[in-house]
Amino acid sequence: MTSTASFWLVKSEPNTYAFADLQRDGRTVWDGVRNNVAALHLKAMKRGDQVLFYHSQIGLEVVGIAAVTREAFLDPSDTAGRFVAVELETVRALPRPVSLAEMKAAPALAEMAMLRLSRLSVSPVRPAEWSKILAMAGDAGG
DNA sequence: GCCAACGTTGGC
DNA sequence: GCCAACGTTGGC
């Protein structure tokens, strides 16, 4: 069977919700996104899509992999009913984190959406970028 | 702590 | 509908 999963990257401040929290919880509702472009990406996520988990503000590195377990639904934290959330589950921590500096220094990642639009909290990752980052992390699964 | 980038708001 | 002011994000 051919895989049709897509790849994404989400940012979270570890002070607020770290990858370790996702590992503890198993699954979590990814809500609170209040940016239209990010919301479009959330709406495009399909069950089974793979997601890089990035720590913003503190750490500044990709630390783990999550997967989409529930496709976009109205964000329960948005009383205006305008934005959506998805549900994510933990997959695995990376053998070693990949820092923002490393990603910036990698020519293969020069066009990554998260590097070009630094404030975007949910962004697409191309298959080649996904493979590159997992290779940089020493993760054989990419 | 500062600043750049970018989105939103509100006066006109 | 324009655009200046303001707020937020996130890297440095």
pLDDT of residue A140: 85
Three-state DSSP class for residue A134 = helix
Determine if strand B comes within 7 Å of the CB of A117: yes
- Gap from A33 CA to B4 C1', in Å? 21
Helix/strand/coil percent split, chain A, to 5: 25, 35, 35
CATH for A7-137 is: 3.10.590.10
> Shortest CA distance to A73 belongs to which of A105, A118, A38, A43?
A43
Neighbour-count burial of A64, counting CB atoms closer than 10 A to its CB (0-12 exposed, 13-18 middle, 19+ buried): buried
pLDDT above 60 for A2: no
- Gap from A112 CA to C6 C1', in Å? 30
Determine if strand B comes within 7 Å of the CB of A82: no
Give the global pTM: 0.94
Closest nucleotide (C1' vs CA) to A116 is B5
Measured distance CA(A82)–CA(A73) in Å, rounded: 10
Strand A61-74 and strand A27-30: the pairing is unpaired
- Gap from A115 CA to B6 C1', in Å? 14
One-letter amino acid identity for A54? Y
pLDDT of residue A1: 56
Q: In this predicted model, what pLDDT tens digit does every residue of A41-91 receive, in sequence order?
A: 999 999 999 999 999 999 999 999 999 999 999 998 887 788 899 999 999
Measured distance CA(A140)–CA(A138) in Å, rounded: 6
pLDDT band at A102 (very low <50, low <70, confident <90, very high): very high
Q: In this predicted model, what pLDDT tens digit does every residue of A13-36 receive, in sequence order?
A: 999 999 999 999 999 999 999 998
Positions in chain C where some atom is under 7 Å from a protein CB: 8-12
Tokens of A99: 């820092």
Closest nucleotide (C1' vs CA) to A38 is B7
